[in-house]
Chain A
Amino acid sequence: MRQCLVRCIDDFARNATMNTMIRLAGRVAQVREAGIAMILVLFSLIAGAVEPRFLTGETARVVLLAIPLVLVAAMGQMIVIVARHVDLSMGSILGFSAIVGGLVFRDHPQWPLVIGFLVAILVGAGLGLFNGLIVAIFKLPSIIVTLGTLSLYRGILFTLSGARQIDPNDIPESLIRMAQTSPVGVPWIVIIAFAVALVVHCFLKHTEAGRHIYAVGSNPVAARLRGIRIFPVTILVFTLSGALAGLAGIFYAARFGYVNPGITGVGFEFTVIAAVVVGGVSINGGVGSVLATVLGVVLLGAVTVALPILGTSGFWQNALYGAIILIALVLGRAVRQGGLRGLSATKDAG
Chain B
Amino acid sequence: MNRIPKPQTYGHNRLISVRGIAKSFAGIEVLRNVDFDIESGEVHALLGENGAGKTTFAKILSGVFRPTRGTMRLGGELVTLSSPLEAQKLGITLIHQEPLSFPDLSVAENVVLGRSRGGLRRVRWSNMEHDARVLMSSLGVEIDVRRPMRGLSISDQQMVEVARALSVESRLIVMDEPTAALTPKEVDMLFGIIRRLRDEGRTIIFIGHRLEEVRDLCDRVTIFRDGEKVATAPTSTLTDAEIIRLMIGRPLKEYLHKTTSSIADTAIVVRELSLPGRFENVNFEIRHGEIVGLGGMVGAGRSDVARALFGIAPAESGFVAVNGQWVTIKNPAEAIRLGIAFVPEDRAVAGIFRTLSVESNITAAVPHRIAPHGVLRRSVEHADAEEFVLKLGIKVASLRQSIGELSGGNQQKAILARWLLTKPSILILDEPTRGIDIGAKAEYHDMIGKLAAAGCAILLISSDLPELLALSDRILVMSEGRLTVNIPRAEATQEAIMHAAVPRAVHR
Contact = CB atoms under 8 A, between A and B. Distances in A.
Contacts of A118: none
Contact of B313 (A205, A221, A223, A350): A350
B123 A211 contact: yes
A interface, over-half SS: helix
B118 A228 contact: yes
A208 B119 contact: yes
B325 interface: no
B307 A205 contact: no
B84 A225 contact: yes
Contacts of B331: 346, 349
B105 A215 contact: yes
Contacts of B3: none
Interface string B104-138: 11000100011011111111010000000000000
Residue from the set B102, B105, B119, B350 with the largest chain A CB neighbour count within 10 Å: B102
A208 B123 contact: yes
A6 B129 CA distance: 45
A208 B125 CA distance: 11
Contacts of B118: 208-209, 212, 228, 232
A225 B234 CA distance: 34
Nearest to B330: A346
B351 to A, nearest CB: 12
A207 B105 contact: no
Interface residues of A, number: 29
Interface string A42-56: 000000000000000
B103 A218 contact: yes
Interface residues of B, number: 29
Contact of A226 (B113, B119, B350): B113
Contacts, number: 84
A232 B117 CA distance: 12
Interface string B305-325: 001000011000000000000
A223 B121 CA distance: 18
A19 B186 CA distance: 33
A205 B123 contact: yes
Given A212-B118, A350-B350, A286 B312 contact: no
B331 to A, nearest CB: 8
B119 A286 contact: no
A210 B125 CA distance: 13
Interface in B78-93: 83-85, 88
A147 interface: no
A207 B123 contact: yes
Interface string A185-222: 00000000000000000000111111110110111011
Contacts of A212: 113, 118
A162 interface: no
A58 interface: no
Contacts of A223: 102, 114
A226 to B, nearest CB: 4
Given A208-B123, A227-B85, A350-B350, A219 B312 contact: no
Interface string A219-247: 10111011110001000000000000000
Given A214-B105, A215-B109, 17 more contacts: A206-B122, A207-B119, A208-B117, A209-B118, A209-B119, A212-B113, A215-B113, A217-B104, A219-B101, A221-B100, A227-B114, A228-B113, A228-B114, A286-B102, A349-B312, A350-B307, A350-B344
26 contacts: A206-B122, A206-B123, A207-B121, A207-B122, A208-B116, A208-B121, A209-B120, A214-B105, A215-B102, A215-B105, A215-B114, A218-B103, A221-B100, A223-B102, A225-B100, A226-B85, A227-B83, A227-B114, A228-B114, A232-B118, A285-B104, A286-B104, A346-B331, A349-B331, A350-B344, A350-B350
Q: Which 5 pairs, one residue from A and one from B, show the smallest C-beta to C-beta distance?
A: A226-B114, A348-B313, A286-B104, A227-B85, A218-B102
